[in-house]
Amino acid sequence: MISTKQFVFKELSAAQESGVFVSGQELAEKCGVSRTAVWKAIKSLAKDGIKIEGVTNRGYRLEGNEENLSLSAMESLVLPKEGIRFCVYDRLDSTNLEAKRLCAQAGILRDALGALTPEGKKLHKLVIIANEQTAGRGRLGREFYSPAKTGVYLSMIYIPQKNLVHPAKMTASAAVAVCRVFKRLYKAEPKIKWVNDIFVNGKKVCGILTEGITDFETGRIEAAVIGIGINIYEDAKGFPERIADTAGSLLGTKGEPAKRNELAAQTALELSHIYAEQENDPLSSEAKDVISEYKQLNFLLGKTLEITPVIGVEEKYTAKAVDITEDAALVVKKSDGTYQTLQSGEVSLYSKNFLSF
């Protein structure tokens, strides 16, 4: 059962898009509490940094498009039974680094039988969120530009009790989760560039980095850290020159509501549901549909790519992307007619016609 504070935020969030006020009496009746309890909840939300406009004889509404990240706001959008917890920071070097630090401090996450230890249970489905990252990074160690108040930067720790889903598949599943949320919250039409980038209107608005926590004694991957960086607004300074041609944002300039708390909460929920289904019933139609959806959203298939191996001594070559496997590997056809299956950590891709979709 959610608290009065959580309920009030949920109701105000639902009314934000239309800009209407919600009266204290209406909130009290819906929640089954007194107007005094509603007033206290409003004050508590304001103390958390949530900007709420109150007008006599009209009620309350969320004000401003760029709402602050709020722990209580996110918690109001996720039922306790989901087992998801949030940690919100104003500034971090990297949410993935913080997640890995927490795992290292916790020590043993699973026992010899594979069951979660008390420390593992505390960290499973913990979501670390930052308003700003000073050392955000993406695949192959690339920097991920993460200025304050313009996006959502989060990492989920996922510790499976059964088999860990294939790492590339976890990244692909995260991409599908984010695309679903983009469609729901912003009516966007996202596309995916294998394996970890999400584009809207021809520009990259999201990057995903999945990393593993390994037990060096057993060689077993104990947990996964799924990092997701989303550009909602464009920073007032613009994007750095090195990424200016490809980087973009969901909403451009600050015109529409950012819905940062909803975006974080819904992304965590979608991730949790997809991973749980893949772990518990990998042969179910719901689990299988994720990769089908990933393939449908991917805009590389059918395109000729310049492929640069980052492991080994093989030189760069061109090939046509023809398929994506069930484990989210990319199948390409080389100029000599042979086929090669590429894993995400092995290559860097480039194509002049990436954006022509």
* Residues placed in the known binding site for biotin: 94-96, 133, 137-139, 204
For residue 224, give the amino acid letter. A
Q: Are 61 and 20 in contact (CB under 8 A)?
A: yes
Nearest to 351 by CA among 328, 315, 318: 318
Nearest to 278 by CA among 157, 155, 124, 171: 171
Q: Which residues are annotated as a binding site?
A: 94-96, 133, 137-139, 204
